[in-house]
Amino acid sequence: MTDNSTQIRVDAGRLWAGAAATALVAGLIAGVGILIARGIVHVDVLAPKGEGVWGNANTVTYALVSAAVALAATGLLHLLLLTTPRATVFFTWIMVLLTLIAVVLPLSLPVDLASRLTTGLINLAIGLAVTGILSSFAPGTVRIEPPHQQQRHVGPYDETVEWRGEQ
């Protein structure tokens, strides 16, 4: 627990560099997931199979949205690191619940079961990767600085001397 004068510093450069790497991982997971679904399992994800194994622009969109989600998650984490105690605990819970929504949402769509399950699994992999990676390196970007020590007047106390701020 910290008092009001303790400063929490987040090394934003390191945090956001890790965010960029996490965004790349999230985008790659989306791409690999779609490649496996369409090329190996032969299940439609996002676009019709007629577009080929790599699909159409929707595949790129899925990967870019996955990367954007990783960056948005980093923004949330940055805010939590600056404002809450045990930020990674809150971040993990929020991300697990958001990942659960991303998994359940495709299951409610009126498409075949294989497509729903595959999309849900891809979303699960992306959500768990983003949550795990960000939660694991975030504590290393935080420094807690002790309160600044007030300089005390050294010497005999004389209340008749007027304080001018300089001596």
- The answer to whether residue 152 is domain-embedded is no
Distance CA 23, CA 107 (A): 25
- 3-state class percentages of the chain: helix first, strand second, coil last, to nearest 5: 65, 5, 30
pLDDT tens digit sequence for 100-124: 999 999 888 888 899 889 999 999 9
Question: pTM for the whole thing?
Answer: 0.78
Q: Note the pLDDT of residue 38.
A: 87
Distance CA 77, CA 138 (A): 8
Q: Note the pLDDT of residue 143.
A: 86
- The answer to whether residue 87 is domain-embedded is yes
The neighbour count for residue 128, using CB atoms within 10 Å, is: 15
- The answer to whether residue 56 is domain-embedded is yes
- The answer to whether residue 103 is domain-embedded is yes
Work out the pLDDT band at 22, boundaries 50, 70, 90: very high
* Structural domain that includes position 129: 8-145
The neighbour count for residue 112, using CB atoms within 10 Å, is: 11
Q: Note the pLDDT of residue 45.
A: 80
Number of domains in the chain: 1
pLDDT tens digit sequence for 112-155: 899 889 999 999 999 999 999 999 999 888 887 777 655 555 55
- The answer to whether residue 2 is domain-embedded is no
- The answer to whether residue 164 is domain-embedded is no
Work out the pLDDT band at 69, boundaries 50, 70, 90: very high
* 12 vs 58, more confident: 12
36, 136 contact by CB (below 8 A)? no
Highest mean pLDDT among 4-18, 33-47, 53-67, 88-102: 88-102
Lowest mean pLDDT, pick from 56-60, 110-114, 160-164: 160-164
- The answer to whether residue 34 is domain-embedded is yes
